[in-house]
């Protein structure tokens, strides 16, 4: 049974990697990621890289981090901004991340320290708002198989799944 759970978690991280394509293709560091900054104390900005970004701090409902078991050859540690309508994931290896988190933490009056640095498996946590700190960011939901092939995959412990907002994260978004 434990072996099945491990296979399911491994498959979950693989499926998750395929599910979001905003930042996961930025495997080569500096020139692909760009530099993350807090400009004017109210705008998160990624300058350069293949996925530039600009988002107002006021739009951010929650901030979290998560890791997968996909490293070390591809990105496996991400910062996530949750807005009312979307999630934005940025590799923690983006240039300027440490300074950015310190600056944003001052603006939000919150410690945004990353704590999943050494995690090598699926792990999530909410960092902000502080009321929900250390709660799960995402949950894994298994998709009920409909075809013979997918039923077989479930039988051998490789059931398809998707990442979903945790109960705590849903509460934050409703506020």
Segments making up each domain of the chain, as ranges: 2-174
Q: How many CB atoms lie within 10 A of CB 90?
A: 24
47 vs 58: CA distance, rounded Å: 19
Q: pLDDT 10s digit of each residue in the chain, 175 long?
A: 555 555 555 444 444 444 443 443 333 455 577 888 999 888 988 887 777 888 999 999 999 998 887 777 777 788 999 998 888 888 888 889 999 999 999 999 999 988 888 887 888 899 999 899 999 988 878 788 888 888 888 788 777 777 888 899 888 988 7
Q: Please give the pLDDT value at position 27.
A: 38
DSSP code of residue 144: P
Q: Please give the pLDDT value at position 4.
A: 53
Mention every residue, 6+ apart, whose C-beta is less than 8 A from residue 82. 60, 61, 62, 63, 64, 165, 169, 172, 173
CA atoms within 13 A on the CB side of 87: 21
């Amino acid at each position: 049974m434990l072996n099945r759970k491990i296979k399911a978690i491994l498959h979950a991280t693989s499926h998750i990697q395929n599910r979001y394509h905003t930042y996961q293709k930025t495997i080569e560091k500096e020139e692909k990621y760009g530099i993350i900054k807090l400009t004017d104390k109210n705008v998160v900005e990624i300058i350069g890289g293949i996925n530039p970004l600009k988002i107002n701090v006021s739009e951010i409902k929650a901030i979290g981090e998560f890791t997968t078991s996909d490293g070390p050859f591809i990105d496996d540690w991400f910062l996530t901004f949750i807005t009312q309508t979307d999630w934005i994931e940025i590799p923690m290896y983006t240039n300027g991340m440490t300074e950015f988190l310190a600056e944003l933490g001052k603006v939000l009056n919150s410690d945004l320290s990353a704590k999943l640095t050494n995690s090598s498996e699926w792990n999530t946590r909410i960092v902000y708002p502080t009321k929900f700190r250390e709660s799960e960011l995402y949950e894994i939901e298994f998709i009920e198989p409909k075809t013979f092939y997918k039923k077989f995959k479930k039988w051998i412990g490789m059931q398809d799944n998707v990442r979903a907002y945790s109960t705590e994260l849903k509460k934050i978004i409703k506020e």
